[in-house]
Amino acid sequence: MELITAEAVKYILILLITVYTIQCFVVFKQQDEEKANSIYLRQNVEMILIHFLSFLVLYIGTKDVQYIVYYAVSQITTVSVVIFYRIVYRGANKLLLNNMCMLLTVSFIILSRLSYYKAIRQILVAIASLIVTSTIPYILMNFNNIRRFYYLFSGIGIFLLLMVLVFSHAVNGSKLNVNIGGVTFQPSEFVKLLFIFTIAGILSRSVDIRNIFISLAIAGIHIILLVLSKDLGSALIFFMIYLVMLYVATGRLLYIISGSLAGTVAALTSYKLFAHVRVRVEAFTDPFGKIDNAGYQIAQSLFAIGTGGFFGMGLLQGAPEKIPVVVSDFVFSAIAEEMGVIFALCLILICVSCFIMFMNISIKFKDPFYKLVGAGLAVTYIFQVFLTIGGVTKFIPLTGVTLPLISYGGNSIMVTLIMFAIIQGLYVSKDKESHERQ
């Protein structure tokens, strides 16, 4: 009975996620607001069905009542978020709202299957973060002077990175976390947001040579501190954020070209200087040849993806626990194994639709500050998705970056929800501004 249910449901899930994903892109061409709202409503139904059917399989396969409780709490959470934004922020972007809740839904499903204890921690952090971030759109709608505090943002960010460098202990070659009062957090996740507002504040004033050098100096300090902490994945993200924001502010392709050359030199230097980087590159070039040590993670990831095939093994039918740190760095591999490559590809496309909408919101702003903030958030989000999925599929060397809203990790999910709340705030503010002009 369990096998039959899992086998039948996996095809239904693939159908539902495929339809949902197609709608993510169809809605971009939809000019009729009523028809667009109809699409968003159908997406809500599809999300609810995916949630229900997945936990039905988990319960039938384990007979564990805990899954029913978790399902009820997680389903109520996602539905409540949709209802809240529709009532309180009527101008909220419904595609980003739906996608945020869909990605959270997938996270709740796969983490429950992998580790019930960690799934509990994930949903508690998600609920707390959703409550806190629900105020961010309101703040952005009513507080227009945030751009003035860019030096304060920069100072806080540098201070936090210095704390990591001085007080953190290296794990797997990198200093990432700080423990304060028994609470562990990863400052670089939060500093990304401060960094975006800092660079946006500087470059929105003027793009003369003085401001460019100031922004470059501040970006350089952030990146150097991350490199000294051997947090090279975050350093790469900060570098890309700055490069794209500088290009958006100036429109000069020369900065992209020169920045790319500098990044290439920095990458080669990192390979020479840091042993753990060399290990990751060796694992990337020949994971099966080094399967007994450095290549074990990526080899197991590729085995999982290959085993799942297009349609997946079905929930509870695979062996994703064989992949080290599967709940965080390799969660995409677990999804591909049990829910199928088609399902996993749809998740990628949903993330791409989020990026497109982020950029769409950004380019509609005439105010350079908000335009730069939107662009910074967009590149942060999609580049993190690229690093994660590229690493686990052997497209690029592993960077240890988590998949936004899906991977296990309190800091990651909190910061990503803040990003979505900020972009919603920008969108609602822009919509409000347009109505006032009319």
pLDDT, tens digit only, all 438 positions of the chain: 677 877 888 999 999 999 999 999 999 988 888 899 999 999 999 999 999 999 999 999 889 999 999 999 999 999 999 999 999 998 899 999 999 999 999 999 999 999 999 999 999 999 999 999 999 998 888 877 888 888 899 999 999 999 888 877 766 666 777 776 666 778 888 999 999 999 999 999 888 899 999 999 999 999 999 888 888 888 889 999 999 999 999 988 888 888 888 888 887 888 777 776 777 787 787 788 778 777 888 889 999 999 999 999 999 888 888 888 899 889 999 999 999 999 999 999 999 999 999 999 999 888 899 999 999 999 999 999 999 999 999 888 888 788 999 999 888 899 999 999 999 998 887 655 544 444
Query: What is the helix (H) or strand (E) element at residue 355, kind and residue range?
Result: helix 341-363
Name residue 183's beta-bridge partners.
180
Residue 160 — φ and ψ, nearest 5°?
-65, -40
The residues, any chain, with a CB within 8 Å of residue 88's CB and separated by 6 or more, are 134
Q: What is the pLDDT of residues 32-51, one digit of tens each?
A: 888 999 999 999 999 999 99
Predicted TM-score (pTM) of this structure:
0.92
Q: Write the pLDDT tens digit of every residue in 210-268.
A: 999 999 999 999 999 988 888 888 888 999 999 999 999 998 888 888 888 888 888 78
The answer to whether 187 touches 163, Cβ cutoff 8 Å, is: yes
pLDDT value of residue 438: 40
What per-residue confidence (pLDDT) applies to 271?
Answer: 76
Length of the chain: 438
pLDDT at residue 369, as a whole number: 92
Domain boundaries, the chain: 2-134+278-437, 146-273
The pLDDT of residue 1 is: 63
Do 302 and 394 meet the contact criterion of CB atoms below 8 Å apart? yes
Report the distance separating Cα 414 and Cα 124, nearest Å. Answer: 11
Residue 178: its H or E element: strand 178-180
- Please name the helix (run of DSSP H) or strand (run of DSSP E) that holds residue 183, with its range, or none: strand 183-185
For residues 140 and 427, is the Cβ–Cβ distance under 8 A? no
Residue whose C-alpha is closest to residue 130's, from 76, 179, 90: 76
Q: How many CB atoms lie within 10 A of CB 411?
A: 18
For residue 200, the model assigns a pLDDT of: 94
